[in-house]
A and B are shown apart, each in its own frame.
Chain A
């Protein structure tokens, strides 16, 4: 059986640290390296922060839902992560994925969140519907041979 967890939490900035630590703790079952763990924490922090700062314009019931699945493989494993909100959605996803694109430039946002998620994880996709919400799906392969890692980074 594949191990999984589901976490629903208020979309407030206090929870950003908790969310990334919780996913990192869950990932430990796959025995990741420190670098892999750090990549996971960063990507989760980006997705959760986006839910907090972009998805909801105040209001009640602002929540983030995080689901993780840990798949064991011969080499180590694959961590599947889905991070969803029920907020405003993204008007133009392709545009939002462009490096340096941000709709909040006067709040010191740099528009690098999605680019960082894509760089630090192995698979990445965004599904969004206006007025309904956004789901980011990512996975991280744990325990890849060094050569393959280098190939990916090149």
Chain B
């Protein structure tokens, strides 16, 4: 799993690349939390899931955890471009009430 960050204006895009399962989540968590600490002044964080080739329930816990982390800095979180399979899992979890899909 790879994480790429890119700032466009005042929005931080965090692109996840690879399979988001329990094994890969540990590293992704550390990286994303570091980005949150370094970008406390941004307007919004957007997780780009277009290159997540696999995700299970670990991804739900991962995204809720990052939502909480950014929330502490008052930064809202969104997700974008989930695959059909990923979207189905995220819908089931009700996560879109916490973070918008854009």
Contact = CB atoms under 8 A, between A and B. Distances in A.
Interface of A: 13-14, 16-17, 20, 35, 38-39, 41-42, 45-46, 49, 52-53, 107-110, 112-113, 115-116, 119
B49 to A, nearest CB: 15
A119 B85 contact: no
A108 B21 contact: no
20 contacts: A13-B21, A13-B22, A13-B23, A17-B19, A17-B21, A38-B85, A39-B85, A42-B85, A42-B89, A45-B21, A49-B21, A49-B22, A49-B56, A49-B57, A52-B22, A108-B25, A108-B64, A110-B60, A113-B56, A116-B89
Contact of A116 (B54, B57, B62): B57
A110 B58 CA distance: 8
Interface in B3-52: 19, 21-23, 25, 29
Interface of B: 19, 21-23, 25, 29, 54, 56-58, 60-62, 64-65, 84-85, 89, 92-93
Contacts of A46: 56-57
A116 B84 CA distance: 14
Nearest to A52: B22
Nearest to A102: B61
A93 B2 CA distance: 36
A115 B56 contact: no
Contact of B61 (A42, A108, A115): A108
Given A38-B85, A45-B21, A112 B54 contact: no
B20 to A, nearest CB: 10
Contacts of B61: 107-110
A116 B56 contact: yes
B93 A45 contact: no
A41 B93 contact: no
A45 B60 CA distance: 14
A17 B54 CA distance: 10
